[in-house]
Structure 1
Amino acid sequence: MPIIKSHYNPPLIFKNGHFSTIHSGVYRSVSGVYQKRERITLSDQDFIDLDWSFAAFHQNVSKLIVILHGLEGNAQRAYVKGTAKIFNRNGYDAVAMNFRSCSGELNRLFRSYNAGATEDLREVIEHILTNYPHYNHIVLKGFSLGGNMMLKYLGEPIRVPKEIKAAIAISVPCQLEGSLKQMRRVENYLYSRMFITHLQEKLKRKHEAFPSLIKLEDIKKANSMFLFDNLYTSKAHGYKDAQDYYDKCSSKQFIPYIKIPTLLINAKNDSFLSKCCFPIEEAEQNEHFYLEMPKYGGHVGFFDRNDVYYNEKRALNFATLA
């Protein structure tokens, strides 16, 4: 489809991409979302925790939004709860998927999650359709790494269930290597250090559980995203190395095969994204894929008034029209 013209115009201070990113990720809080946890056992005997919230003042709800968080996120992040809140208020139940090891408890296996782990999303969708058959209108929304996973899922050759009607992706590094190069830039140093610190701490816990599979000295040396992915992410999930992981899991190559209405919102001032993370040609050639590139928004920022963020309003509008 043609590129969508964006009308997002935040207050002056939020036109700074870094301020928008940090404010949304660190200072925003969302109240009024009450979540109920469900643990499901996967086919490999690991587990994933789902956090449900329900439509206000609605009975016999048939609509559901499935929300996927970003790198080292969880279902309690403000951007997840903000989405759940606006959809709950408009007749949708919401279920937020915590990736393996992201729900406050280390998962059972040596592997965890990655940007291309669509097998986990597929099992969650199958669980919902089997155990909650009253949901006949399902919308997906993925943020950052979770958005990459979602786009890859939608474009893979395995059939997408007919109950999935639309999808919205926010701030997605759909070309993983390009995003990795961006994260090496000086302006992104603090973000990179934060991610690496979290990931190394988790990997130390993996060492305690699986001492024969990974060494502490190797964990300490993995002090960049590339080295971490080369040491753990790729090997634990069946890829040759980090480059093989990036090549096979980048969602950009799957976008041409998406066959349901899908909206991607990537801000032009998102410091996490390289030029190749803006799939303009793919959008122009796929009638089901819509690309919006606001001038502002940072990474999962999109501040708007009344504590309802722009991407949340756009997601509801897109889901309604789909």
Structure 2
Amino acid sequence: MIWDYQPPWWLLGGNAQTIYSAKLAQRYVGAKPRWQRERWDTQDGDFVDVDWRNDEIALPDDAPLLVLFHGLEGSSSSHYAQAFAQEAKLRGWHMAVPHFRGCSGELNWAPRAYHSGDFEEVGWMLSRFQMLHQGPLFAVGISLGGNALMRWAGEVGHSANQVLQAIASVCSPIDLTASGNAIDTGFNKAVYARMFLATMKPRAMQKLAQFPGLFDPLELRAAKTLYAFDNVFTAPLHGFNSTDDYWDRASAKPGLSRIQVPALVLNARNDPFIPESCLPTQGQVSDLVTLWQPEQGGHVGFASGTFPADLQEMPWAVMEWMTQNG
């Protein structure tokens, strides 16, 4: 199966596709997806919140389960999570969205947050889902979540097959240095980096109130780029020496050649966040990795159909690929 996204004639350019899909495109048909929250205690005395799709009709216990790892500052309310929830419902799949620490609406307790290479956390979550669920397990990661998921798959190799059937990443910055530099430049810096920092900086200051002295608040407030924010907050809190060290070690791209579970890597070539020049080639990935690199799509911006357009084509294509290859 090969999917090549074609946008509506009136939705042109990576920025338009990105912004329209996030803000205006139809995410679901009928009732809004409903979630039932479950709290998991972590091994370090913290917690993560998991939202399970609460379907109107009970599904068999052994129906497939889709686990969706959200993107930077995302949640089960994100446009892509709701679109995948719609597709999971149509297929009769269970679905769950585990929130990275601090992203469920309540500040987590430990002196840490989450990051793009958080593969240990991803592995722990997947093992927990495997223990809880009787049927086939699939996972998709969006943007940051996809990098962490692919980072996990590259790290564990053949062991991934013992946990799940197939994985997919959607618009993930698998080369964090290239993507970080892109988002901190020009229009991207003015719009996207500013948007992310508007929520990340206040949450970091809440973390500082929990743990006085954790970082320098003056440096944090002065941060105007993701690079600067990561240098003050993300990198040191998670064991990295600097932003450069973090972006280098957390990138999933070098590990794609070691993946030993069916994996789909979907990246639009006009993604404002992810330069086309950094996308992987088939020679850089294992035989079990499929690359989809349509010319259009922006950053998780695959709206389709007639005006006002909807978001169902991409989730359908991704889940169809996983069904056929898992």
Q: Tell me which residue corresponds to 1:148.
A: 147
Q: 1:85 to 1:5 in 2, by over 3 A?
A: closer
Q: Does 1:16 align with 2:13?
A: yes
CA distance in 1, matches of 2:81, 2:9: 25
Deviations 1:89-123 (Å, cap 9, x if unpaired)?
Answer: 21210001111000000110111000011111111
Q: 1:32 to 1:16 in 2, by over 3 A?
A: same
Deviations 1:142-177 (Å, cap 9, x if unpaired)?
Answer: 011001001001110362252411111110110000
Q: Which amino acid aligns with 2:319?
A: L
Structure 1 residues without counterparts, runs of 5 or longer: none
Residue correspondence of structure 1 range 257-276 to structure 2 within 5 A: 257-276=258-277
CA distance in 2, matches of 1:173, 1:82: 21
Report the Cα offset of residue 271 of structure 1.
0.8
Report the Cα offset of residue 257 of structure 1.
0.7
Contact 2:130 2:137 in 1 (8 A): no
Q: Tell me which residue corresponds to 1:215.
A: 216
Q: Which amino acid aligns with 2:234?
A: T
| % identical aligned pairs | 29
Q: 1:282 to 1:102 in 2, by over 3 A?
A: farther
Alignment partner of 2:24 out of 5, 27, 31? 27
- Point out the more displaced range, 177-186 or 43-52: 177-186
Q: Which amino acid aligns with 1:15?
A: L
Q: Tell me which residue corresponds to 1:177.
A: 177
CA distance in 1, matches of 2:214, 2:162: 41
Report the Cα offset of residue 73 of structure 1.
0.8
User: In structure 2, the residue corresponding to 1:160 is in which secondary structure?
Assistant: helix
Structure 2 residues without counterparts, runs of 5 or longer: none
Q: Tell me which residue corresponds to 2:239.
A: 238
Contact 2:282 2:291 in 1 (8 A): no
TM-score normalised by length of structure 2: 0.92
Q: Does 1:319 align with 2:322?
A: yes
CA distance in 2, matches of 1:157, 1:8: 31
Report the Cα offset of residue 75 of structure 1.
1.3
- Provide the alpha-carbon RMSD of the alignment: 1.8
Residue correspondence of structure 1 range 105-254 to structure 2 within 5 A: 105-130=106-131, 132-135=132-135, 137-157=136-156, 159-188=159-188, 189-254=190-255
Report the Cα offset of residue 133 of structure 1.
4.0
Q: Does 1:294 align with 2:291?
A: no
CA distance in 1, matches of 2:85, 2:121: 21
- Point out the more displaced range, 86-95 or 208-217: 208-217
CA distance in 2, matches of 1:263, 1:129: 20
Deviations 1:227-257 (Å, cap 9, x if unpaired)?
Answer: 1111111100011111111111000011001
Q: Which amino acid aligns with 2:201?
A: Q
TM-score normalised by length of structure 1: 0.93
Report the number of matched residues: 316
CA distance in 2, matches of 1:209, 1:34: 32
Q: 1:95 to 1:319 in 2, by over 3 A?
A: same
CA distance in 2, matches of 1:281, 1:126: 29
Report the Cα offset of residue 201 of structure 1.
1.0
- Point out the more displaced range, 147-156 or 55-64: 55-64
Report the Cα offset of residue 61 of structure 1.
3.2
Runs of 4+, deviation exceeding 4 Å? 54-57
User: In structure 1, the residue corresponding to 2:71 is in which secondary structure?
Assistant: coil
Q: Which amino acid aligns with 2:180?
A: L
CA distance in 1, matches of 2:46, 2:94: 25
Deviations 1:171-209 (Å, cap 9, x if unpaired)?
Answer: 011000000111122121211111112111111111211
User: In structure 1, the residue corresponding to 2:268 is in which secondary structure?
Assistant: coil
Q: Tell me which residue corresponds to 1:69.
A: 70
Q: Tell me which residue corresponds to 2:52.
A: 52
CA distance in 2, matches of 1:317, 1:271: 26
Report the Cα offset of residue 14 of structure 1.
2.1
Contact 2:67 2:139 in 1 (8 A): yes
Q: 1:57 to 1:207 in 2, by over 3 A?
A: closer
CA distance in 2, matches of 1:165, 1:193: 38
Contact 2:18 2:298 in 1 (8 A): yes
User: In structure 2, the residue corresponding to 1:39 is in which secondary structure?
Assistant: strand
Deviations 1:19-69 (Å, cap 9, x if unpaired)?
Answer: 111112222444431111011001111111000015646323331010011
CA distance in 2, matches of 1:165, 1:39: 25
CA distance in 1, matches of 2:220, 2:119: 26
Contact 1:61 1:92 in 2 (8 A): no
User: In structure 2, the residue corresponding to 1:264 is in which secondary structure?
Assistant: strand
